[in-house]
A and B are shown apart, each in its own frame.
Chain A
Amino acid sequence: QITLKESGPTLVKRTQTLTLTCSFSGFSLTTNGVAVGWIRQPPGKALEWLALIYWDDDKRYSPSLRGRLSVTKDTSKNQVVLTMTNMDPVDTATYYCARFGRAGYDWFAPWGQGTLVTVSS
């Protein structure tokens, strides 16, 4: 069974740096083709892709947020860490991590439960 779970602060202040951890089980981030992605969803709004990190450490970032995002992995701990700098109230959202792969059935499947991050001004 594949599971993912996001953890991190629920409240950050404007201009601070957000660090979120995705802890997963049931798959390995050393397997060819496997990746973990981050997606966020502001309250009442649509999903927005943020970042991907692949098994070979290839990293992709949303162009609209590139420069503020960094993603790293620790394969020994089965964890992926997302860092977002210079947080603003518009970054208030539920942040999800999900497995991502090429097979199709693993295209952002499954997702973690999400963690709501509120940015105060």
Chain B
Amino acid sequence: QSVVTQPPSVSGTPGQRVTISCSGNSLNIGRNSVHWFQQVPGTAPTLLIYRNDQRPSGVPDRFSGSKSGTSASLAISGLRPEDASDYYCAAWDDSVSGPVFGGGTKLTVL
């Protein structure tokens, strides 16, 4: 059971906007940046958003991140079938002096 919680699943139809929430506490998200990873089934995760709202080069601007207090969100606009993946948030946790991952959210594109 992770200390950072995400909804197990979300879904949307092509073209829609979906959001994935990520909730932590004052020792992880409350104090440190949130990072998001995308994992296409059968492949390794890739960094999607870093430092709450920054996109690595090559990541479309359809993906955006935000953080407020001890929670963060990933938004995907203009949903595409290829966005169907598992999404993980993560943050440094001062209580363990290491990173902690959320439980992951499976995005289904209907």
Sorting the interface of chain B by its residue count into under 10, 10 to 19, 20 to 34 or 35 or more gives 20 to 34
* Interface of chain A, main secondary structure: loop
User: B54 touching A49 by the CB < 8 A rule?
Assistant: no
Interface mask (A62-74 → B, CB under 8 Å = 1, otherwise 0): 1100000000000
Partner pick for B101 among A49, A63, A105, A110, CB 8 A cutoff: A49
Q: Which residue of B lies closest to A47 (CB)?
A: B101
Binding site for A on B (CB under 8 A): 2, 33, 35, 37, 39, 44-47, 50-51, 54, 56, 88, 90, 96-104
Residues of A within 8 A of B45 (CB): 47, 96, 108, 111
A105/B98 contact (C-beta < 8 A), A46-B2, A47-B104, A96-B44 known: no
- Bound Cα distance A48, B99 (Å): 9
Closest chain-A Cβ to B4's Cβ sits at a distance in Å of 10
Residues of B within 8 A of A104 (CB): 33, 35, 50-51, 54
* Interface of chain B, main secondary structure: strand
Closest chain-B Cβ to A60's Cβ sits at a distance in Å of 5
User: B35 touching A108 by the CB < 8 A rule?
Assistant: yes
Is A52's CB within 8 Å of the partner chain B?
Answer: yes
